[in-house]
Amino acid sequence: MTAREDIAAASSANRPLRLGDSAPLFSARTTRGEKSLADYRGRWVILFSHPADFTPVCTTEFVALARNADRFAALDCELLGLSVDSLYAHIAWVKAIEQAFGVTVPFPIIEDPSMAIGKAYGMIDEHAQDTSAIRSTYFIDPDGVVRAITTYPHNVGRNVEEILRMVAALQIAERDEVLTPEGWQPGEPTLNPPDTDLAGTSDEADWFCAPKGGS
């Protein structure tokens, strides 16, 4: 199936993208040249949409993401931004950010003027004419599977520290077959999955909430 056919199939599925779904493939023009989602197999990907270029909240998000790009790279995680704005608007905005904040945006920003990618991912309602109320983030694993989704309103910015925490939590949960408790941070204890065998447990909580130790 081609990237175009994959997007079309996802768009016609008549349901939102869910955790565990394969992320719809696409190829598109970006501020860093032509990019295909398939090119990122083997790495984690953060695909995030923003309402529009040259907007206050989106600008603060992009500045923060750019300043933390090395931390995402350390997690073997790629960043991909997207909005319906044209490539030329993206380029102008990136240059304005660099001039105003002294920050270079190192990751690609995808143009999606037809809204094909946005609709395939559920970033945009099929009847919407723009993305002014959509601020979605998709956490895609190295096999191309959607592992987490967050959506914020247009007037509330995302938290870059939480995005980084989510990636780290997803990675350690997958790698070590553990659970991460509320507020977990890298290096803190994780949790064992619930034990189905009560024999030999020394504490009532051991079988359903047992810490695994530092990670």
| Residue 133 counted as domain residue | yes
The catalytic residue positions are: 58
Percent of the chain exceeding pLDDT 90 equals 67
> Does any domain span residue 140?
yes
Query: 110 by DSSP, 3-state: which?
Result: strand
Residue 171 forms part of a structural domain: no
Placement of tokens 């995005």 in the chain: 163
Q: What average pLDDT does the chain have?
A: 86
Measure the CA–CA gap between 158 and 185, rounded to whole angstroms. 18
Query: Residue 206: inside a domain, yes or no?
Result: no
Q: pLDDT tens digit string along 168-184?
A: 999 999 999 999 999 99
In a domain, 102, yes or no: yes
The verdict on residue 60 lying in a domain is yes
Domain that holds residue 130: 3-159
pLDDT tens for 106-137 read 999 999 988 889 889 988 755 555 545 478 99
Helix/strand/coil for 55 = coil
pLDDT of residue 123: 83
What's the domain count of the chain? 1
5 vs 75, higher pLDDT = 75
What's the pLDDT score for residue 3?
45
Per-residue pLDDT at 215: 43
CATH of the domain at 55: 3.40.30.10
DSSP letter (8 states) at residue 44: E
Top pLDDT among 19 and 211 is at 19
Distance between CA 206 and CA 158 in Å, rounded? Answer: 36
Mean pLDDT of 42-52: 94
Q: Three-state SS for 148? A: strand
**Biggest distance spanned by C-alpha atoms of the chain:** 65
Q: What is the pLDDT of residue 204?
A: 59
> What is the pLDDT at residue 166?
98
| Mean pLDDT for the stretch of residues 54-74 | 96
Residue 199 inside a domain? The answer is no
34 beta partners:
29
Q: Indicate whether 168 belongs to any domain.
A: no
Q: What is the dihedral of CA 16, 25, 10, 127, to 10 degrees?
A: 70
